[in-house]
Every structure is written in structure tokens, then in C-alpha cells.
Structure 1
Amino acid sequence: MDILVTYDVETLEPSGQKRLRKVATICQNFGQRVQKSVFECSVSQAQLEEMEHQLLRVIDLEKDSLRIYTLYGSRSKAVRVYGKDVTIQPHHKVS
């Protein structure tokens, strides 16, 4: 399934900056960055559950925001892109 992952991590403190780096790394392991805090991912149900599990262990639910959208249909039908669009096939690094 194709998903869109977006996040906003509060970075006023060093702990927030550390969370931001961890969240970005997790997302990079499952998909490709298309904007600073936005990732497109093509994952199985099991990979989605693993990704959510990893992300929820990192984010602070009181300070941060995480959104995961399911894209129905192929990326080419679900996404309209204007401007630079580089699509790569991610290599899943799920441990």
C-alpha cells in the first residue's frame, strides 16, 4: 500500500532535535523524503505496523504530531506534483 507520512516535531529543546532526527531516520528506512517532513512510502501491512510502532516509541504525544495517510490507487493517480519530482524505489531497512 502507498502511504504519506507527515510529522511536526517540537525542536525547542535538544531532546526534540534528537527526536526529529530519529523520526526522519525511521521514515527514510521505509520510503522517500518528498519534502522536509513528508515521506511517500510503499509498504506492506506488516511494514506499516512496524513503522508505526517505531515512530510511536520516539515521538512525544504531548508535543509532536504524526499523520499517516493511506493513498488509494497508484501514486500516479493519488498524487499531483508540480515542480521537482524525483521518485526512487526505497530499499526497506526494517530490522
Structure 2
Amino acid sequence: MELLITYDVDTTTPEGQRRLRRVAKICEGIGHRVQKSVFEVVCEPPERLRLEARLREVIDSDTDSVRIYQLDYGTFHKAEHLGAAVDAAHREAWIF
């Protein structure tokens, strides 16, 4: 499945700044950052469940917001990029 993840974490406190870094690290571990707080993710349903669980553990549900959009397969490939866009190679192998 293809997911578009966006987030807005309240960073007015040091705890919020830490949550922002943790949310970003979680998303970096599974997807491609295409804008500062926007990630494109290609994953299987079990991975999505783990991702959502990890994000729920980190965010403050009273002040932070994470939006996860499930897209049709192939949507990222058809995306049109304008300006200084990141070309995320979703289907290529990752080297660790």
C-alpha cells in the first residue's frame, strides 16, 4: 500500500521538540521524506499497523496531529513534482 504521512507537532516546549524528532525518525525508518513534515511510504498492512502504534506512543494527542492518507497503488509513480522536489525511489532496494 502507499501512504502519505503528514504531521504537525507542537514544538513550543522542549518535550515537543523531542517528540518532533522522534516522529521524524519513525517516519524516516519506513518512508521517504518529500517535504519537511511529509513522507511517502510504501508498506504492507502489518507495517502500517506497527507504524501507527509507534506514532501513537510518541505524540501528544492533545496538541500534535498526524495524518495518514492511504493512496491507490501507483499514485507516487504518477505524482507531478514542481520546483525543488525530492525524487523518492519507492520501488528500489534499500541498502543499509
Q: TM-score, normalised by structure 2?
A: 0.87
> How far does the alpha carbon of each residue in 1:65-93 deviate from its partner, in whole angstroms, 9 at most, with x for none?
1000011130223x3321223223474x9
Q: Which amino acid aligns with 1:88?
A: A
State the match for 2:18 in structure 1.
Answer: 18
> How far does the alpha carbon of each residue in 1:24-58 deviate from its partner, in whole angstroms, 9 at most, with x for none?
00000010100000000001000000000000000
Distance 2:21 2:32 in 1: 15
State the match for 1:61 in structure 2.
Answer: 61
State the match for 2:71 in structure 1.
Answer: 71
1:88 and 2:84 matched: no
Number of equivalent positions: 91
Q: Where do 5+ consecutive residues of structure 1 fail to align?
A: none
Distance 1:13 1:85 in 2: 30
Q: TM-score, normalised by structure 1?
A: 0.88
Q: Which amino acid aligns with 2:62?
A: E
Superposition CA RMSD, Å: 1.6
